[in-house]
Structure 1
Amino acid sequence: MFATEPLRIVAVSAGLSRPSSTRLLADRLAGAARDRLDAEQDRPVEIRVIELRDLAVDIANHLVTGFPSATLEEAIAAVTESDGLIAVSPVFTASYSGLFKSFFDLVENTALTGKPVVVAATGGTARHSLVLEHAMRPLFGYLRAVTLPTSVYAASEDWGASGDGYTDGLPARIRRAGGELASAITGGRAVSGASRALGLDDEVVPFEEQLAGLRQT
């Protein structure tokens, strides 16, 4: 019975336009993860993309009333119950969009504990690529998710570019991130190692004790 249960990948896209490069990147990342999962195991894979633009009014109403609509509640449940998450936002004012942040503000801060997440972003220029490190990783760190090593930023010029001897092109980065997500979903080191399996939270030496040790020496 267990072997026939599908693996569920949910991609959250905060793109506002249609068509949207943010949605396209979400689709490509989900497809890469599914391809790797299909190649390495026999369980079916379900992909769902949640477009936040369709939930914008519901998100705003929930923020001011405290009551989610049935549609929004179901979308949040899909995110929290997924086996792997892909989160993609356009860059607005050097960070993720307000719509993206507002949605994840509605997710309980322990609901994503241990969940493997690929973070990705789109923008008009490569100058904003650090949004992945200074904004998105800290957000999912706070939510206790396992943010995977490869994050993907797609500037306008990245679409169709093949990269060079020093930098992978966008398709290669998408494949690598999708592969990491697939590995984490099926029990790879990124999700089963360190923090959960070994209980590193219990083994971290408090800073005060480290300082006391230094004083003794």
Structure 2
Amino acid sequence: MTQRTLAVLTAGLSQPSSTRLLADRLSAAVVGRLAETGVETSVEVIDVRELAHDVTNNLLTGFPSPALERAIDSIAASDGLIAVTPIFTTSYSGLFKSFIDVIDPTALTDLPVLIAATGGTERHSLALDYAIRPLFAYLHAVVMPTAVYAASSDWGAGSAPGASGLTERVERAAGELAASVAESGRSSRVLDPFALPAGFNPAG
């Protein structure tokens, strides 16, 4: 049976967290879709809340803790990534962005990524396309066409047959990521060891 690894990055701050709940629903849907095609998937969940102090220390010192290094390595070595953040002040959370900032700029090159977010109201859903999608595009990841946003009103709704709700969006996005992950594993990703770091200025 074909083997794949799926990394799940979730940046919810509370416990329990709707962000983690959405991440779990998406990962279960992707694993299910991959199983239908004969692909066995191992899932690595990175809960950024548990690494908040390590992320801050890394930003200040430039050195990751062992736990943070393992989390970063698991994403870099994965065949696909699900990234979920709460929306604060019309954009991704500061903790989510801080974690992304400590990842090597080349680590996500050609990595299939499903982006998702949670928020209080539907009007914040546009943040997926004007903030989160450009972030991963800048890092040369392959961002799936369907992004999933879950407002407070989405939970417990949209499960009826034919309903255009959260369940439908989750399944559509999961199908896209599963197809991409099944088609090309990490062995097909070519990372340029000589790539210049983000923001490099040859003029100093």
- TM-score, structure 1 normalization: 0.81
Task: Quote the Cα distance in structure 2 between the aligned partners of 1:10 and 1:52.
Answer: 13
Q: Equivalences for 1:1-217 in 2 at 5 Å?
A: 3=1, 6-41=3-38, 43-162=39-158, 168-187=164-183
In 2: Cα distance, 1:98 partner to 1:158 partner: 24
Which residue identity lines up with residue 69 of structure 1 in the other structure?
Answer: S
- Bigger fraction of residues in helix: 1
Deviates more, 1:64-73 or 1:156-165: 156-165
User: 1:91: Cα distance to partner?
Assistant: 0.5
Aligned equivalent of 2:202: none
Match of 1:47, SS state, is strand
Q: Secondary structure at the match of 1:44?
A: strand
Cα distance in 1 between the residues matched to 2:64 and 2:56: 9
- Following superposition, the deviation at residue 164 of structure 1 comes to 9.4
Output the CA distance in 1 between the equivalents of 2:152 and 2:78.
30
- Percent identical among aligned pairs is 55
Shift of 1:143: 0.5
Matched letter for residue 44 of structure 2: R
The one-character-per-residue Cα deviations of 1:129-171 (angstroms, maximum 9, x if unpaired) are 0010000000000110000000000000011222899972101
The runs of 5 or more residues in structure 1 that have no matched partner are: 197-217
* TM-aligned CA deviation for residue 44 of structure 1: 2.0
Ranges of 4+ aligned residues in structure 1 off by more than 4 Å: 163-167
Shift of 1:107: 1.1
Amino acid at match of 2:65: S
Cα distance in 2 for partners of 1:123, 1:165 equals 25
Q: CA deviation at 1:21?
A: 0.3
Amino acid at match of 1:111: A
User: What's the secondary structure of 1:18's corresponding residue?
Assistant: coil
In the alignment, structure 2 segments of 5+ residues that lack a partner are 191-204
Contact 1:89 1:122 in 2 (8 A): yes
CA distance in structure 2 between the aligned counterparts of 1:32 and 1:133, rounded to whole angstroms: 22
Higher relative contact order (CA 8 A, sep 6+): 2
Q: What is the letter of the counterpart of residue 185 of structure 1?
A: V
Task: State the one-letter code of the partner of 2:50.
Answer: D
Distance 1:174 1:163 in 2: 11
Taking the aligned partners of 1:157 and 1:103, their CA distance within structure 2 comes to 28
The residue type equivalent to 1:35 in the other structure is: G
RMSD: 2.0
Aligned length: 186
Are 2:158 and 2:164, in contact at CA under 8 Å, matched by a contact in 1?
yes
CA distance in 1 between counterparts of 2:161 and 2:36 reads 28
Q: TM-score, normalised by structure 2?
A: 0.87
Give the structure with higher Rg (CA).
1
